[in-house]
Amino acid sequence: NAGVTQTPKFRVLKTGQSMTLLCAQDMNHEYMYWYRQDPGMGLRLIHYSVGEGTTAKGEVPDGYNVSRLKKQNFLLGLESAAPSQTSVYFCASSYSPGDREKLFFGSGTQLSVL
Amino acid sequence: GENVEQHPSTLSVQEGDSAVIKCTYSDSASNYFPWYKQELGKRPQLIIDIRSNVGEKKDQRIAVTLNKTAKHFSLHITETQPEDSAVYFCAASYGGSQGNLIFGKGTKLSVKP
């Protein structure tokens, strides 16, 4: 099992450019999440999904969109990147039910917006 | 809104000493409290968790205690080793049993040999 795989690992964007981050999990997890991590701010939830075809907003959803067309994949999109979106992005997934809260994280994507 | 406060933000101990990290939460409905360890440049990994029907849980050198009345929980690491050096995050579930996690801002633990 590869677990949770994120691509790309690094990316540099110019302000206004768009991009998509891909998260894939091979553990048959129902729940998937996108977090951002900024120095001194911990992990903040951007969007999440409780199953194929569903998405919901987290703590900091503005400027991001997501899609969960297949159970194993969760995409995070930035339509018009801003310097404030420079961050490390982590995807995570969890079992259901009962162990929903135990998160398995991907290795992260370092995004810089110039 | 929901909030998790974590203290201290940095902690330095000598190898072999104990380390304690404390967190407080605001949502009285929170019922799940995990701790994640993140080594430099790596992904966060779950090291221990506790549910609200338990007051304490141990796993070798690490333990977590929970005081629901006071709405705080703590991570205890005994006999610290250099490989314990990392950033530790506490978290609390919110929104009841189907809720997500809200994380503290992290504690950078340094264990000096």
Q: Return the top range by mean pLDDT from A47-51, A95-99, B49-53, B76-80.
A: B76-80
Q: Which residues of B touch A58 (CB under 8 A)?
A: 100
Q: Terminus-to-terminus CA distance in chain B, angstroms?
A: 41
Across A60-64, A93-97, A110-114, least confident range: A93-97
B46: chain A residues, CB-CB within 8 Å: 102-103
B78-99 pLDDT tens trace = 999 999 999 999 999 886 555 6
Q: For the segment A1-16, what is each residue's pLDDT rounded down to a tens digit?
A: 789 999 999 999 999 9
Q: What is the interface size between A and B, counted as CB pairs within 8 Å? A: 45
CA dist., res. A70 & res. A79, Å (int): 21
Q: Is A11 exposed, middle or buried (0-12, 13-18, 19+ CB in 10 A)?
A: middle
Q: Which chain A residue has the Cα nearest residue B2? A: A59
Which stretches of chain B score pLDDT less than 50?
Answer: none
